[in-house]
Structures are given as structure tokens and as C-alpha cells.
Amino acid sequence: MISAGNLSRQALRRLLRQARRALTPTQQKQAAKALYRQLAQDPLFRRSRHVALYLPTNGEIDPRPLLREAQRRGKRTYLPVLNAWPAEKMVFQRLHPGEKLRKNRFRILEPRANPALQRKVWALDLVMLPLVGFDEQGGRLGMGAGFYDRSLAYLARRKQWRSPTLLGLAHECQKVDRLELASWDVALQATVTDKGWYERR
């Protein structure tokens, strides 16, 4: 496991992104399958009707088998969509099976923005987040742009509130002994990897 030690957030991010990108296509496929097996029959996934996922980039663990399964079970699925303006805003938009996607400014596929299909974060049941690094205390290190933190900021003020459940998805190699949480960081209930669950105690 990587020790955060006295690495800066930026140095840690670089190290973890390298580890993630070093995985071969075969390892990526196996990890995606293993992640699917960790989650598909879990009550948390089974009972969630409105589920947000992401399309993988840069070696992130691939949740597309889960996305297909969610759609097969008739769940409503959502993807993060970046606003044209203000540029730092991210929303969650309904994705229909087979819908055509286009690349955003980070070359990540997303649906064309349509406010009528967007859903407020608090009205989602389960948000599965991509991440660069995680720890066992619900800590999450993202790409460093703060999109998820900003869209989930309201949760920090409502710690006891039920929804949505925030679940990090990661490769086992993204685990860090301890992440320093910034004041704006929103804690995850758990992170699931290809190897297992890490629940916040």
C-alpha cells in the first residue's frame, strides 16, 4: 500500500495516477469483472433506483458492467455532465440505454446537456465516484478539480441525511494509508475495489 507520508497532494496524485495507468488491458478487464461481482448482488446496489456512475478515463476502474446491469434491471442511471457555464459546475444527468454521447473538454464521454434530464444530487439513491486515491476512513483524493466536492458540498452540512449513499470505486492499488481531508472534502460511506469493501467505521 502507498504511504501518504509527507507527500504533497499533488505528488500523491501523480504517483497514484501512474499506478492506475500501469494496469494492462487484461488487468483492467478482470478488475471490472471483480468489481461487478462485489456489487451486483449487494443490497445497496439492488435497492437503489436512481444510480449515478461514470465512464472510465485514465485507467479508472470500469463500472460499465454495473451500468449495463442497472439498466437491465430498470434502474435510472445518471452520468456527471460538465456545465458549459459556469465551467466549474457539474450536474448529474439521466442516461438512456444506447444514447449517443460526446466528449467533454477532458475527453470524457458524456450526454449532451439537457436540464430536463438532470436530477438533483439529493434525489439520487447511490452515487458511485471515480477517484485517484482512497483510505479506509472515507477519504477520497480526486482529479483535483473539485467537481464532485462542489456538487456534494451541501452534504457536509447534513451529516445525518440519508441520501445519496456515496460509494468510491477503485483499483486495490489506489489505497493509501491515510489521506488528509481538506475542509471541503465530502467523506465516502465506503470504497469498493476489485478485492473488497472498505467501509468507514
Ligand X SMILES: Nc1nc2c(c(=O)[nH]1)N(C=O)[C@@H](CNc1ccc(C(=O)N[C@@H](CCC(=O)O)C(=O)O)cc1)CN2
Ligand Y SMILES: Nc1ncnc2c1ncn2[C@@H]1O[C@H](COP(=O)(O)OP(=O)(O)OP(=O)(O)O)[C@@H](O)[C@H]1O
Q: Can you give the binding site for ligand X, defined by CB under 6 A?
A: 54-57, 60, 80, 82, 90, 106-108, 130, 142-143, 145, 147-148
Compare residues 1 and 182 and give the one whose CB is closer to ligand Y. Answer: 182
Query: Does 141 interact with ligand Y (rule: CB under 6 A)?
Result: yes
φ, ψ of residue 26 to 5 degrees: the values are -65, -45
Q: What is the closest distance, in whole angstroms, from the C-beta atom of residue 5 to ligand Y in the complex?
A: 18
C-beta of residue 169 within 8 angstroms of C-beta of residue 196: no
Instruction: Identify which of 92, 102, 156 has the alpha carbon closest to the alpha carbon of residue 124.
Output: 92
Compare residues 30 and 57 and give the one whose CB is closer to ligand X. Answer: 57
Residue with cell 495507468: 21
Round to whole Å and give the CA distance between 113 and 80. Answer: 10
Site string for ligand Y, 90-129 (x = CB under 6 A): ----------------------------------------
**Considering CB distances under 5 to 8 angstroms, the limit depending on partner class, which of ligand Y, ligand X, none binds residue 185?**
ligand Y
Residues 106, 161, 184, 197: which binds ligand Y (CB under 6 A)? 184
Instruction: Identify which of 154, 174, 15, 78 has the alpha carbon closest to the alpha carbon of residue 192.
Output: 174
C-beta of residue 49 within 8 angstroms of C-beta of residue 170: no
Which cell is 157 given? 452540512
Interface residues with ligand Y (CB under 6 A)?
141-150, 153, 182, 184-185
